[in-house]
């Protein structure tokens, strides 16, 4: 009996639809301090709040839901939206079902910094801080830098940052 050969992996990538939140503190636009959180499931990984979109959910609906789930508040004002999907690949060993994520980035202003509460029902962050936007790339994990750069440059070029 002839043995079946294993199926080759498809040569295309599957990206999970996702929203990412660039959250400025309550002093925006006078100060440009951005929120980053330390993931509790990966060592030394700082990032923006983000999360997957449900099947019938709009970008804005997913954005507000994810903020509530991850930082304990959706008390923000949306300032701008990046017009395109921005993709990034997961590093080897993280891929699972998806090759990476395609994200819609929204820039928002937090209405009250004291509303932040990362001790949510299913915490994703163990710590958070506001840092000057100019220092962002000193903190962000390397595999997210290209996507973050595209989003931040768009917001800068359009006068938001």
Q: Produce one character per residue of 76-86: b if its CB has 16 or more CB atoms within 10 Å, e if not.
A: beebbbbeeeb
Instruction: Note the pLDDT of residue 97.
Output: 86
Beta strands in 57-123 (DSSP E): 76-81, 86-89, 100-110
Instruction: Note the pLDDT of residue 52.
Output: 96
**Domain residue ranges of the chain, discontinuous segments joined by +:** 15-157
The mean of the pLDDT values for the chain is: 93
Instruction: Note the pLDDT of residue 5.
Output: 63
* C-alpha 115, offset from chain centre: 19
Does 8 score more than 70 pLDDT?
no
Structure tokens at 120: 């949510």
15-157 sits in which CATH class?
A: alpha beta
pLDDT digits 0-9 by tens, 66-107: 999 999 999 999 999 999 999 999 988 776 789 999 999 999
Instruction: Note the pLDDT of residue 6.
Output: 63
């Amino acid at each position: 009996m002839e043995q079946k050969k294993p199926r080759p992996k498809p040569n295309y990538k599957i990206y999970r639809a996702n929203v990412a939140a660039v959250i400025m503190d309550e002093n925006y636009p006078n100060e440009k301090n951005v929120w980053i959180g330390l993931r509790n499931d990966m060592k030394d990984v700082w990032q923006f709040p983000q999360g997957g979109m449900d099947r019938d959910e709009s970008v804005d609906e997913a954005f507000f839901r994810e903020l509530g789930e991850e930082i304990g508040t959706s008390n923000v004002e949306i300032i701008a939206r990046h017009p395109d999907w921005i993709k990034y690949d997961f590093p080897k060993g993280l891929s699972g079902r998806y090759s990476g994520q395609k994200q819609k980035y929204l820039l928002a202003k937090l209405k009250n910094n004291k509303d932040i509460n990362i001790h949510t029902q299913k915490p994703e962050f163990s710590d958070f801080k506001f840092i000057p936007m100019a220092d962002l790339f000193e903190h962000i994990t390397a595999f997210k830098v290209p996507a973050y750069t595209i989003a931040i440059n768009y917001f800068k070029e359009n006068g938001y940052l």
